[in-house]
Chain A
């Protein structure tokens, strides 16, 4: 198990360094931020000074090395817009985004998993078909469309909820529902098919043949095994808690990390974009790592021949 975890951690670090290099390269290649930030008719000396101040006059390679060095010291550079520390700018948005994504995540799990299990256990029943129909609708409708529909119904027509902003908790309801719906639909589908797959396995028949009553066979032999594939999607959703709300934040004018990213990209605010990308990458890679470790804990086949308790 230790070797298993060590490999996964190594792979995670490798992935993060790849992301770092990649994002830096792409953004460095997209244009000279100095020309974008300063007005067109700024005097050349001012542009020079700007470049010098932000280290933009060094070679790309030196910038990269310097950037990595800074990262190791926890220095993510300054926003090209207002000179504030890039990390501070990003961090202050995180709670706002989490205020949407965490409740939405709970909604996805709380609805998606039970609905998927129910549908699988009552395959082809009326409710199974209903759940699957809602689920198809839930994940084929893009979230900005769903968001706009919800705004039309609840904000414009019924006038019961605000359409945008973040002043009260009521402002969060529509974005959370929008985020949660698609996720719940996806989780329900995954859970259902994972359960159906497991319920068809010979060891479920064995469990029943040895006298385990059906409800117990489901709890003891089907659910843990079906959790393995379901974990993959759930893990992806955990990884996107911080940056998974870009579209919804825009639709509902919610000033979270997602909207910061969009404006930073539009402004070529290099340091902010990098800080966000790095944050996202770390979240994704970490949640992947956690999922991998959870796999290893649940499924002994992945741990390799020598199980943790052996030898």
Chain B
């Protein structure tokens, strides 16, 4: 069997808060094929960011990351700082939510790009600076040569996010992790950044993990979606299936909260309540306190695990699996 680009198994993350130990990620599994785009969706606090920061060893010393993260079949969890540094930016790049504070305020844009090029492409400073300019042009930054000698505070947020993307491209990575790349930006700029991401994927064929709390954004870029809740995946399926046949009540809640794309004045039905904090999880299904379908007998007993519903489609809800076949069918038709 061919190894996928990334294979994550049983990834857990605990935070040592001094007095106690809190588990914030409770076992995360995912495979990403070369060139595939996977969306990670969930409300704030569901564990989207820490999953990937943890996988790349970017959480602080208080985080304990366990399980397995394989890159081309090679285990990278627990590698030393030098070996990890060689993977970061080169094999797997990451961009973040707030582009302006994600760039070093006292280094010129050019210098920050050149740093990546020298690190990963072994370029001389001279050829790196020519390449830096080309990178900026690739992400459609106007007056690229001039931008190289400017500082992040002189650029807009959207522009800085383009710089971040250019910097990520510098290492020609196989996978780009984009952690809410548009959340901090205006709506029109959001669309432009998503366009740049799409374009870069077409050009380079790199894989993408797009993290967002917005299913709409994920749908634009991803082939497949993982819905996360309270530090667990709760449903995964191809994008079309998530929209057409969502099975987990939480996924349905997220979909109901989406504004209609055709502009109809659909009422936004946000799910009442919020994601429980890691140290205050309910005993059974973590979604139970907010779930309209919750059934005290089943849902409060054990934490439901991810089980296959169909090819490429799995969910973690006790009701789906205990339901009788007829009930299941009617659910599917719904």
Contacts and interface: CB of A to CB of B under 8 A. Distances in A.
Interface of A: 201-203, 205-214, 220-221, 224-225, 298-301, 305, 307, 309-310
B104 A207 contact: yes
Nearest to B92: A209
17 contacts: A201-B101, A202-B96, A202-B102, A203-B101, A203-B104, A203-B105, A208-B85, A209-B56, A209-B89, A212-B89, A221-B107, A225-B104, A225-B105, A225-B106, A298-B106, A300-B105, A305-B154
Nearest to A221: B104
Contacts of A201: 101
Contacts of A211: 85-90, 116, 119-120, 171
Interface of B: 53, 56, 58, 81-82, 85-90, 93-94, 96, 98, 101-107, 115-116, 119-120, 146, 149-151, 153-154, 164, 167-168, 170-171
A209 B150 contact: no
- The listed residue with most A CB atoms (<10 A of its CB), out of B87, B94, B104, B115, is B104
B98 to A, nearest CB: 6
B221 to A, nearest CB: 20
A220 B111 CA distance: 11
Contacts of A307: 149-151, 154
Contacts of B56: 209
Nearest to B119: A211
Contacts of A310: 146, 149-150
Contact of B89 (A210, A221, A225): A210
A301 B152 CA distance: 9
A214 B116 CA distance: 14
- The listed residue with most A CB atoms (<10 A of its CB), out of B86, B105, B167, is B105
Contacts of A206: 96, 102-104, 164
A116 to B, nearest CB: 19
B25 to A, nearest CB: 18
A264 B98 CA distance: 58
B136 to A, nearest CB: 16
B85 A213 contact: yes
A206 to B, nearest CB: 5
Contacts of B106: 224-225, 298-300
Nearest to A215: B81
